[in-house]
C-alpha cells in the first residue's frame, strides 16, 4: 500500500548503441556488483524509518491520555519504549559501521546482507510495536503509523528476501 509495484515487460525492444549502459549482455553482472550497496541503502532506509516511527510514537504516548493519565506514564509503555530505543540504537550503530566500510570500499556482500536483513526485520517489529502503542487509532489509515506499518512489510522483500539474506550469510558460516 505504501508504494505502487508493477511487473514490466520489455519484449523486442531495441536499444541503440549510443544508449547502452555498460557492455552488451552484461547487465546482470553489473547488477550483481551493486547488490551490496543496494542492500545497504535498504538498511539505511529501514533504520531511519525506525527512528521516525519511534519519535512519532513517543510524541503520541506523551499526549494521549487513558485512565486519567498520559499513556507514557504507564510502566509497561515506558519499558516498551526503552526496548525499542535500544534496538534502534544498536541497529543504527551497525548500519553506521557498514556505511563506513562501504565508503572505504570494504563492505562485503555478507555484511550488506546482514544490514539489510537486520534493519528490515527491526523495521517491521518497530512498526508493529508502535502501532500497538497507538491503540485503535494507530490502525486508522489516516495516521502515519498505519501507513508506516503497511510500507514496512515490503522492505524484507526488496533487494532479495530476508530468507535469501540468511542463506548468503550462512554460506560463509558453514563454508569448509
Per the annotation, the verdict on 33 as an active-site residue is no
**Which residue carries 499513556 as its cell?**
71
Nearest of 99, 124, 125, 121 to residue 112 by alpha carbon: 99
Catalytic member of 7, 38, 63, 123: 38
Q: How far is CA 80 from CA 87, 119, 167, 172, 173, in A?
A: 11, 18, 31, 35, 33
Active-site residues, by number, are 38
Amino acid at each position: 500500500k505504501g508504494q505502487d509495484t508493477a511487473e514490466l515487460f520489455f519484449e523486442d525492444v531495441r536499444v541503440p548503441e549510443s544508449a547502452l549502459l555498460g557492455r552488451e549482455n552484461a547487465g546482470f553482472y553489473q547488477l550483481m556488483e551493486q547488490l551490496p550497496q543496494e542492500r545497504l541503502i535498504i538498511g539505511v532506509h529501514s533504520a531511519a524509518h525506525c527512528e521516525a516511527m519511534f519519535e512519532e510514537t513517543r510524541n503520541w504516548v506523551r499526549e494521549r491520555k487513558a485512565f486519567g493519565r498520559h499513556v507514557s506514564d504507564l510502566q509497561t509503555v515506558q519499558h516498551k519504549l526503552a526496548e525499542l530505543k535500544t534496538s534502534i540504537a544498536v541497529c543504527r550503530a551497525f548500519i553506521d559501521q557498514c556505511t563506513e566500510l562501504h565508503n572505504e570500499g570494504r563492505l562485503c556482500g555478507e555484511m550488506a546482507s546482514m544490514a539489510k536483513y537486520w534493519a528490515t526485520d527491526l523495521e517491521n517489529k518497530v512498526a508493529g510495536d508502535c502501532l500497538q502503542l497507538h491503540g485503535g487509532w494507530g490502525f486508522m489509515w489516516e495516521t502515519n503509523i498505519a501507513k508506516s506499518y503497511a510500507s514496512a512489510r515490503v522492505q524484507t522483500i526488496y533487494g532479495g528476501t530476508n530468507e535469501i539474506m540468511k542463506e548468503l550469510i550462512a554460506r560463509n558460516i558453514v563454508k569448509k
